[in-house]
Amino acid sequence: MSIRQLLAHPLAKNLDIDAPETIEIHRQIILSKPLLLSIYREWYELLYASIPDIKGEVLEVGSRTGLIKYFLPEIITSDIADSSLVQLVTNGQSLPFGDAFLRGIIMTNVLHHIQKPELFLNEAARCVKKGGVIAMVEPWANPWSSFIYKRLHHEPYQPEAERWELAEGGFMSSANGALPWIMFKRDRKRFETAHSSWEIVRIAPLMPITYLLSGGVSTRCLMPAGSFRLLRLLESPLDHVAGMFALIVLKRR
């Protein structure tokens, strides 16, 4: 039996991550884990703090469980999967908004699931007004995170991939966890040339350990509920060199 199987959360065992009922199960898992909820709270606070104080709405792409409403009820939620937990069912590559309607787009672990991320960036450039942003938390690549993602995570992780596009597949199973690093770090010059409407204004790696110990939505939590502050204090000196995720902020020129 593998470590991942041994630590699997009871609700997540033998779960088809592309099945519609998985959304509600993931919601139950997150709400049952105080440590994981604290992680999402920090992420949403970082994301919202990155949005400029200008006129316009803020959209979350890939809301899935609708969790953001617990922390930021004014955000417009959306997902590609039809669900009562979100306000809009829409593809991030074709958004139902007029030009310059949004002041920001928020995403949490979504970009690396978008089949054609360049189409999304072009569509976002149409919908987000000048000075607005895309703010996202995404997996990040470094020796430590690559070791974990390749061995313990259920999603594909291919930092050597040449193409930015993903193969066709399920909403969740089609992925490359290294895609944000590829686009904004390894291929940064290509990004800046192809998408000059966007300026990379911040890349801040974070959380080398805490998310891993929380178990995410697939495995059991390995730490007590009240350990979040201590864990973040202890790991924060390593954020920039070993962060499993990164806060990435793109500004509309």
pLDDT at 1 (0 to 100): 55
Pick the CATH number of 3-252 from 3.40.630.10, 3.30.390.30, 3.40.50.12280, 3.40.50.150: 3.40.50.150
pLDDT at 71 (0 to 100): 94
- Measured CA angle at 86 (ends 218, 170), to 5 deg: 50
Type of residue found at 87: Q
- Measured CA angle at 23 (ends 17, 29), to 5 deg: 95
* pLDDT by residue, tens only, the chain of 253 residues: 566 677 788 888 888 888 888 999 999 999 999 999 999 999 999 999 999 999 999 999 999 999 999 999 999 999 999 889 999 999 888 999 999 999 999 999 999 999 999 999 999 999 999 999 999 999 999 999 999 999 888 899 999 999 999 988 888 889 999 999 999 999 999 999 999 999 999 999 999 999 999 999 999 999 998 999 999 999 999 999 999 999 999 999 9
pLDDT at 201 (0 to 100): 98
Closest residue by Cα to residue 182 from 105, 111, 110, 108: 111
